[in-house]
Amino acid sequence: MRAPYRIQDPDVIDEIVIGKLLDDNKEVIVQFSSEVNSSDVLSKLNEIAGKYDENLTIRFYGSSRNSFDCSILDQIPEVKSLSIDCLRQAHNLERITSLRNLKKMGIGIFELKETDILSAKNLQNVNRLYLFDTKTKALNLKYLSSYKNLEYLIVAGHTKNIEAIGSLKKLNHLSLNSISKVPLSFVNELPILSKLNIILGGRDSISEIDGKNIENLNLTWIRGLNNLENIGRFHKLKTLLVEDQIRLPKIHFDKELNNLTDIKVLNCKTLTSLTGLENLPALHQLRVSRTNIIFERFIQQPLPSKLKILAFYTSKNKVDSQLKLQLKELGYVDGLDEN
């Protein structure tokens, strides 16, 4: 993943600077928060976009605008990565459908009216798609079944025909943000999905997900989540982040997970038990912060021999300093300062 570098509201486009950033493995985002009055700026951007790949993004955003006029997109037909987001309204959205070189697309228009915009044939060629939040959450996802090249998808709040995501056989990264009530069993139909983020929304468990190919799992701020008993199904899991879960009482690894190297459990204030760590022979880093786990009990359990980074934090600085010293005496490092 390239580190993003943002160029904000430029008056002049410097091709040398952009080229060097791209050559230095940066993702360059040229973004405009206000109306672009210079056709020279867009003309030059379009010229550069024709020379480089989708790691050069052109972004139009800004919720303060009355309505963004998408006809400006006619000036950048060579764009390969485009984002129009953080907008309240937009008109002439059909101009997107004339952009034949798109590989990455982000759409975030709060009062979106064109709920069938994903039916556009040119969008069906993208390999990355970001579908941000809208007021009605009525974006029709059924057209995603035709997105045969899609590898990376973020969906925020949209659930209409969400099961179509199960048709995306090349998808390896999926973020489901603010998704509630609908079943997630379609995730099991994704043969090479390696990274799954479930952020916000609400459900009491993820038991319908078998996790057969998932290597990186992020569970953050899911309202009502109280059960992770199926975590043992995630046989290929390498990293696990569990954060801001206020109803989760325990995490227990009841099956051996030979690939899991990194666990972070953060701000889960009702969590009283984290056990079964002896079933994680490859575990290298474990970070626990702001839980209800009693350290003295936790540290008595068998721990993997490969565990080198072990950090345990409460919300009290004095206690945290003492715990850090105690863990250091046991041979562990904090991982942030390596001392």
Minimal CA–CA distance to 248: which of 277, 222, 268, 220? 268
Q: What is the pLDDT of residue 339?
A: 44
Strand partners, 32: 60
Closest alpha carbon to 154 in 110, 101, 108, 216: 108
CB under 8 Å to 40, separation ≥6 — which residues?
A: none
Tell me the three state secondary structure of residue 290.
coil
Contact status, residue 80 vs residue 107, Cβ threshold 8 Å:
no
Q: Name residue 72's amino acid.
A: I
- Looking at residue 65, its pLDDT comes to 62
Q: What's the CA gap between 54 and 49, in Å, rounded?
A: 8
In the prediction, which pLDDT does 63 show? 62
pLDDT values of the chain reduced to their tens digit, one per residue, 339 residues: 899 999 999 999 999 999 999 999 999 999 999 888 889 999 999 999 999 999 999 999 986 668 999 999 999 999 999 999 999 999 999 999 999 999 999 999 999 999 999 999 999 999 999 999 999 999 999 999 999 999 999 999 999 999 999 999 999 999 999 999 999 999 999 999 999 999 999 999 999 999 999 999 999 999 999 999 999 999 999 999 999 999 999 999 999 999 999 999 999 999 999 999 999 999 999 999 999 999 999 999 999 999 999 999 998 999 999 999 999 999 999 998 744
Look at domain 80-92+102-329 and name its CATH class: alpha beta
CA gap 198, 221 in Å, rounded: 9
Q: Where are the domains of the chain?
A: 1-79+93-101, 80-92+102-329
Q: Are 103 and 128 in contact (CB under 8 A)?
A: yes
